[in-house]
Copies of this chain bind each other. A is one copy, B any other.
């Protein structure tokens, strides 16, 4: 349900980081030198959170593994029990992180018959999530360029999927006569651009005391004024 509270959302996200780490652990038991799942998952969560935090402050490239060691409280050797290279660590967070985001979005946008309501819900849900995971979203955006080709492709597909979710709704609305849209793909692109600004320019909106609810409503207003029939 898209109108759920921030608290509910927040809970899901925290659970999600642990799930993400557990997924990674189970898929890579052979590479990870730590055998006990509980210990491994706990430390992975610490490592991932520390990486996101440092990367948002100084960039993943500029972050040294000694920085990460200090921030996470784990030694160099311990870190390398969980991943095989610095590049590997980046891929893990990008890949598993983005699929976690997709899962959360899917779980939180239920079926809805009215197309206009559906569009509003999707915009709001995306924005709420990007508020709660703003550091993750910022990380995804800024660090994609440092990935190898394979993971870069996955990242691009993730970007296009989000856009697709929007354009599918726009398409439905155009077909059932609820919306009037000349260029659906471009419309989807700019909606995504406006949503993206929320986490790329967080400092600006925070400084101006713009809440995510205000921003979401504004994006919805802009969108609807463009696609709804003028009466």
Chain A interface residues toward B at CB < 8 A:
58-59, 61-62, 142, 145-146, 156, 159-160, 183, 185-187, 189-190, 192-194, 196-197, 201, 203-205, 208, 210, 214-215, 218-219, 221-222, 225-226, 230
- A208: nearest residue on chain B (CB-CB)? B185
User: Within the complex, what minimum Cβ distance (angstroms) separates A66 from chain B?
Assistant: 16
Add 14 more A-B contacts to A190-B219, A221-B226 (CB < 8 A): A58-B145, A59-B145, A59-B146, A61-B61, A159-B204, A185-B208, A186-B215, A187-B222, A190-B197, A190-B218, A190-B222, A193-B194, A193-B196, A225-B225
User: Within the complex, what minimum Cβ distance (angstroms) separates A223 from chain B?
Assistant: 9
Residues of B within 8 A of A215 (CB): 186
Residues of B within 8 A of A210 (CB): 186
Residues of B within 8 A of A214 (CB): 186
The complex places the Cα of A197 from the Cα of B201 at a distance, in Å, of 13
The complex places the Cα of A192 from the Cα of B204 at a distance, in Å, of 13
User: Within the complex, what minimum Cβ distance (angstroms) separates A105 from chain B?
Assistant: 20
Residues of B within 8 A of A146 (CB): 59, 62
User: Within the complex, what minimum Cβ distance (angstroms) separates A15 from chain B?
Assistant: 30
Residue among A58, A142, A186 with the highest chain B CB neighbour number at 10 A: A186
User: Within the complex, what minimum Cβ distance (angstroms) separates A7 from chain B?
Assistant: 26
User: Within the complex, what minimum Cβ distance (angstroms) separates A111 from chain B?
Assistant: 29
Residues of B within 8 A of A192 (CB): 197
The complex places the Cα of A204 from the Cα of B203 at a distance, in Å, of 26
Q: Are B222 and A226 in contact (CB under 8 A)?
A: yes
Residue among A146, A193, A214, A221 with the highest chain B CB neighbour number at 10 A: A193
Residues of B within 8 A of A190 (CB): 194, 197, 218-219, 222
The complex places the Cα of A219 from the Cα of B201 at a distance, in Å, of 20
The complex places the Cα of A183 from the Cα of B193 at a distance, in Å, of 19
6 nearest A-B residue pairs (beta carbon): A193-B197, A61-B61, A225-B226, A190-B194, A230-B230, A222-B226
- A219: nearest residue on chain B (CB-CB)? B190
Q: Are A189 and B185 in contact (CB under 8 A)?
A: no
Q: Are B61 and A218 in contact (CB under 8 A)?
A: no
- A198: nearest residue on chain B (CB-CB)? B193
Partner of A61, one of B59, B187, B196, B219: B59
